[in-house]
Chain A
């Protein structure tokens, strides 16, 4: 137990992040459904005591899914996998990575406790417990700082610990997407942290005057859950998709540079720290940039879709019955494409969707696509996590159910946005919107089911007595040269010489020729 707490092994730290984030995701999705049920008849206040507690749950659901759910899930996966992908015996700054996990966990628990004790990040009626709000802000600050610390470890691992012969452009797609995503996180999470500090200083110890005023505080934070910033939190998913497709097709990715550039472009287009006031009236140039970025975000996803389709076409003979990760990767890419299209609709001025429930629909589409992508990564690298093969039948079902859940959750909110339904409202809902709200509640339940199925797949693999091979997929990159599960130090045999982005494929071809 003590060893577990004090460990600086990147795999244990990453697994801690993954387990914690899955727990918070389950709780977050459950909370989302409770909020959804209240939305069916908000005037009645059947579930929540008053508008303020309803709003606090709404905000906790949004912020929590980001900083307690999807971001730590992808960060944890990155901490487990990227050192293996770059052939490193350990993550950079392993103790800092461990501190990041424990700081995040403690902060996350305190944050939930803060919310539960009436310490929400704002309330339209102004009724919050100021001390509890200060506690929540302190916890949110700790969570954000911890995520930054973990990101520094992740970034430094890929950049500094690569073996000779592996240029930065040669790292596997997931490692590259972690570099892109981590860099954007390091540029934007400090802005969120600055917002937390401002609000905390305003709230702590005296009546707030500006940033900590309950009626206005939420607007300081929700930019991080909206376009374009919300895209930043799912950037690593693009790398997961590209790695899964190339591995499944067992062919080299053609136009690799274009795929790397697409991931990089998606990262640049997701920088959202400048757009904090969009919706409240901003200058014309900023608005123009905002709209242009909204449109442009579709392009990298389309490039990636083309690249993946070409790879699958060339490797069709090698695929056979599609694996759960491959099905999930394709579905995730399609979901992300749909999410970016919703983003385009959202910024088209005549539709006037900003501030409507389309905000929530877009948030759900992007972030939950990120969740599906994260579960795809878990199943793809599952043998490195548990040392056992993950069941494919249930795995396929989980990604299908999750993807269906994303659609049922996001699309109704977007359609409601066209019917002028506000993102948060306690007024009676219009005819048509109430039916869409019912569909969204059902979608949330489907999502929960899909996530439970995924957890069941992972748990079932732990009970298996059959050890997994090092490389169940015929992988191309270095992580598949380590045993399953990888030991301390990660590799027991000398790594192959790295002369291309696919060293294991090179080694296999050389052996074949010999």
Chain B
């Protein structure tokens, strides 16, 4: 009788889903950051159009050199590639490449801060020279802070990755950082086109 008994294994218990708190929380924070910059852009473009509508010059030609802004755009595009590389490496359980990509992204972020500081010296525009200068320093300064926050976020994740926290089945933390970083770069794209190119 016993030999005739067919035993069935119970189906495996469902894998507990780890709440994606960091991803969701970071998405809200990123949305808030985007709204913050949208408010600044709206005021910048509103002031510019009202100034130009009465025939006044918004920014004197030649005040803002084009090259540093373009270099920053290029640097940030590169950083998008490396941060995406970091996410993919984590998903592939390739920890060493993930850490390398995160470090490179951080390095690109540091380069952007350096380039912005260089641009400030080249602009030759005091913050109290008028509404245009004030708005440019507010927006670009706030973007520097956004870059710095992203770098701190990446550094924390790099340390966690070194400790083995992230892996193929658990990459939300890196994904959260990637969302923030992409948004920060998108914000810079508006700065680059709207302020540095179109002025």
> B-contacting residues of A (Cβ < 8 Å)?
92-93, 96, 148, 151-153, 155-156, 159-161, 186-191, 193-195, 197-198, 201-202, 206-207, 209-211, 273
Contact = CB atoms under 8 A, between A and B. Distances in A.
Given A152-B32, A201-B127, 18 more contacts: A92-B25, A152-B25, A156-B21, A156-B24, A160-B20, A186-B32, A190-B35, A193-B36, A194-B37, A194-B40, A198-B40, A198-B43, A201-B134, A202-B134, A207-B128, A209-B130, A209-B134, A273-B35
B68 to A, nearest CB: 21
B131 interface: yes
B120 interface: no
A188 B35 contact: yes
A136 B85 CA distance: 44
B25 A201 contact: no
A152 B138 contact: no
> DSSP class of B's interface residues: helix, strand, loop or mixed?
helix
Interface in B1-58: 19-21, 24-25, 28-29, 31-33, 35-40, 43
A92 B32 contact: no
Contact of A189 (B32, B40, B128, B142): B32
B24 A159 contact: yes
Interface of B: 19-21, 24-25, 28-29, 31-33, 35-40, 43, 127-128, 130-131, 134-135, 137-138, 141-142
A273 B41 CA distance: 13
Contacts of A210: 131, 134
Contacts of B24: 92, 155-156, 159-160
Contact of B21 (A161, A188, A273): A161
Given A160-B24, A197-B142, A190 B131 contact: no
> DSSP class of A's interface residues: helix, strand, loop or mixed?
helix
B138 A198 contact: yes
A210 B46 CA distance: 14
A67 to B, nearest CB: 16
B36 A160 contact: no
A49 B39 CA distance: 36
A190 B33 contact: yes
Contacts of B21: 92-93, 156, 160-161
Contact of B35 (A152, A155, A187, A206): A187
A96 to B, nearest CB: 8
A151 B38 CA distance: 20
Nearest to B47: A210
Given A156-B24, A191-B36, A201 B131 contact: no
Nearest to B142: A197
A161 B138 CA distance: 37
Contacts of B28: 151-152, 155-156, 186
Contacts of A152: 25, 28-29, 32
B195 to A, nearest CB: 15
Given A160-B20, A197-B142, A202-B134, A93 B32 contact: no
5 contacts: A155-B24, A155-B28, A186-B28, A191-B35, A195-B39
A150 to B, nearest CB: 12
A215 B24 CA distance: 41
Please indicate which of the listed interface residues B37, B38, B134, B142 has the most CB atoms of chain A within 10 Å of its own CB.
B134
A47 B128 CA distance: 37
A54 B127 CA distance: 32
Contacts of B33: 190
A156 B30 CA distance: 13
B183 to A, nearest CB: 12
Contact of B36 (A156, A190, A207): A190
